[in-house]
Amino acid sequence: MPADLPKLVTALARRARAASLVLATASTDQKNAALTRLAVLLDSRIPASTNALLAANARDLAAAKKNKLTSAQIDRLTLTPPRIAQMAEGVRQVAALPDPVGEELERTVRPNGLEIRKVRVPIGVIGIIYEARPNVTIDCAVLCLKSGNAAILRGGTESFHTNRMLVEIIHQAIADTPLSTLDVRLSTSAVQLIPTTDRAALTTLLKLDSLVHCIIPRGGESLIRFVAENSTIPVIKHFKGVCFVYVDQDADPAMAERIVVNAKVQRPGVCNAAEQLLVHGAVAGTLLPRLARALLEKKVELRCDQASAAILKKHQLAHRSAKTADYTTEFLDLILAVRVTPSLEDAIATINRDSSAHTDAIVTRDTAAAQRFLAGVDSAVVLWNASTRFNDGFEFGLGAEIGISTDRLHARGPMGLRELCSYKYVVTGSGQVRG
């Protein structure tokens, strides 16, 4: 590790902490002005910003091709004028969202006259560790700014030049923000990018628990596990999305087909796509072939347990025998593990054992069965008669999201502006002393 690297990262974190204390007191109008200016600078009709950003992105793309990244990885890395314009629109959408800071959650008055208010406040300094997609830089920065948090960004090596230019544009937007009489001067240190791809910088950041208050990793399971295992700072995370759809014995067949196909096929490479299908044994003989045909038409490979394989074999439908590991695998591909289950209770027990507690759904017309499933499945998001693909900040009406959490403390499920806040108690008295 270079001798000056820990000092560099520590100094960056100190600046972020100082900036967070100022940002926490900024007005909604001031934060929105910074975001609006950022959207203008990102807009593809502003040639200077767009050209500089596209030039930086071209450097990363050239390196990606040289390093033989896959076509899918290169696509995620690529910026175009329409994609930049889409990023700008996302910033405007966040600016239009309600400001969570200062929201009163509870108010009580004690018998002695003390007024106690529970008020939403920023977390402080948030470190975000992520991989290839450069739009994450903008998403995370604007969500942190709007919620009053300073952000320390550590993007992937493959998007380093693009991320650096994006942060320069963010700094320009902050510097351009006009001040009214009561406004504080926002610091560009409110959003910082770790200026090196050296893994040692990340290791240093993860130990700065006196300056950084929360770490959010976004990326593959190996990255998230590295962060969780090496951080002395609280980490908000999900390791993977092993999501289930359970088709109950009282499911509407057409609805079941529509939901199962959408949950698996609409975008198979994301964490809220279905990886596992459970079908109640009472209807598997008639309903499973219908579901299989619809999935096979979409080029989905079915990996079946003994019971489901026997049914599909009888109907001459293509399938493979599942291995034990398939029942807990996040495929992120057009592959679906299929099992027949004897009961609702067995389905709940199977999901609680084999899922990643991310997103699980039941399809049924039976209200009592649905309510039992919703209460019994211990996952961050449970759905009744809806696709798992709806576990998303935008779909939940939160605007953009900074990630999806399967943790049980502080935040669970899609994390929007409110989830980037903590709270404090504000107590007002009239001279009370404790006897």
d(CA 288, CA 281): 10
Q: In this structure, are residues 132 and 73 in contact, taking their beta carbons and an 8 Å threshold?
A: yes
pLDDT for position 46: 67
- More confident: 252 or 180: 252
Structural domain spans, the chain: 5-236, 243-395
Q: What is the mean pLDDT of residues 230-259?
A: 95
Pairing relationship of beta strands 150-154 and 125-130 according to DSSP bridges: parallel
Q: In this structure, are residues 287 and 256 in contact, taking their beta carbons and an 8 Å threshold?
A: yes
pLDDT at 229 over 80: yes
d(CA 323, CA 347): 19
pLDDT for position 69: 87
Mean pLDDT (the chain, rounded): 93
326-371 pLDDT, tens digit per residue, is 999 999 999 999 999 999 999 999 999 999 999 999 999 999 999 9
pLDDT at 307 over 90: yes
Model's pTM, two decimal places? Answer: 0.87
Q: Which residue's entry shows tokens 């908000």?
A: 236
Give 360's strand partners. 244, 382
20-34 pLDDT, tens digit per residue, is 999 999 999 999 999
Among 20-34, 43-57, 205-219, 329-343, name the one with the lowest average pLDDT.
43-57
92-149 pLDDT, tens digit per residue, is 999 999 999 999 999 999 999 999 999 999 999 999 999 878 889 999 999 999 999 9
CA angle 142, 70, 128 (to 5 degrees): 25
- What is the number of other CB atoms lying within 10 angstroms of the CB of residue 18? 16
Q: What is the mean pLDDT of residues 220-234?
A: 92
pLDDT at 266 over 90: yes
Q: In this structure, are residues 373 and 355 in contact, taking their beta carbons and an 8 Å threshold?
A: no
Q: In this structure, are residues 295 and 302 in contact, taking their beta carbons and an 8 Å threshold?
A: yes
Contacts of 11 by beta carbon, 8 Å cutoff, 6+ apart: none
Q: Which residue's entry shows tokens 């003989």?
A: 285
pLDDT at 1 over 70: no
Q: What is the mean pLDDT of residues 33-42?
A: 94
**Confidence tier at 401 by pLDDT (50, 70, 90):** confident
Out of 2.60.120.380, 3.40.309.10, 1.10.150.20, 3.40.710.10, the CATH code matching 243-395 is 3.40.309.10
Tokens of 108: 């009580």
pLDDT at 181 over 70: no
Q: In this structure, are residues 152 and 212 in contact, taking their beta carbons and an 8 Å threshold?
A: yes
User: Percent of the chain having pLDDT more than 70?
Assistant: 98
pLDDT for position 431: 96
pLDDT for position 342: 98
Distances (CA, A) of 114 to 7, 109, 425, 430: 45, 6, 12, 7
pLDDT for position 76: 84
**Confidence tier at 433 by pLDDT (50, 70, 90):** very high
pLDDT for position 165: 96
Q: What is the mean pLDDT of residues 172-192?
A: 88
**Confidence tier at 237 by pLDDT (50, 70, 90):** confident
Q: In this structure, are residues 424 and 375 in contact, taking their beta carbons and an 8 Å threshold?
A: no
Most confident of 87-91, 262-266, 392-396: 262-266
Q: In this structure, are residues 201 and 194 in contact, taking their beta carbons and an 8 Å threshold?
A: yes
* SS3 readout for the chain: CCCCHHHHHHHHHHHHHHHHHHHCCCCHHHHHHHHHHHHHHHCCCCHHHHHHHHHHHHHHHHHHHHCCCCHHHHHHHCCCHHHHHHHHHHHHHHHCCCCCCCCEEEEEECCCCCEEEEEEEECCEEEEEECCCCHHHHHHHHHHHHCCCEEEEECCHHHHHHHHHHHHHHHHHHHHCCCCCCCCCCCHHHEEECCCCCHHHHHHHCCCCCCCCEEEEECCHHHHHHHHHHCCCCECCCCCCCEEEEECCCCCHHHHHHHHHHHHHCCCCCCCCEEEEEEEHHHHHHHHHHHHHHHHHCCCEEEECHHHHHHHHHCCCCCEECCHHHHHCCCCCCEEEEEEECCHHHHHHHHHHHCCCCEEEEECCCHHHHHHHHHHCCCCEEEECCCHHHCCCCCCCCCCCCEEECCCCCCCEEECCHHHEEEEEEEECCCCCCC
Residue 31's closest CA among 105, 117, 122? 122
pLDDT at 43 over 90: no
**Confidence tier at 376 by pLDDT (50, 70, 90):** very high
pLDDT at 3 over 70: no
Out of 3.40.50.920, 3.40.605.10, 3.40.190.170, 3.40.50.300, the CATH code matching 5-236 is 3.40.605.10
pLDDT at 72 over 80: no
pLDDT at 49 over 80: no
Q: What is the mean pLDDT of residues 185-207?
A: 94
Residue 418's closest CA among 141, 153, 122, 152? 122
pLDDT for position 45: 62
Q: Which residue's entry shows tokens 């889409």?
A: 86
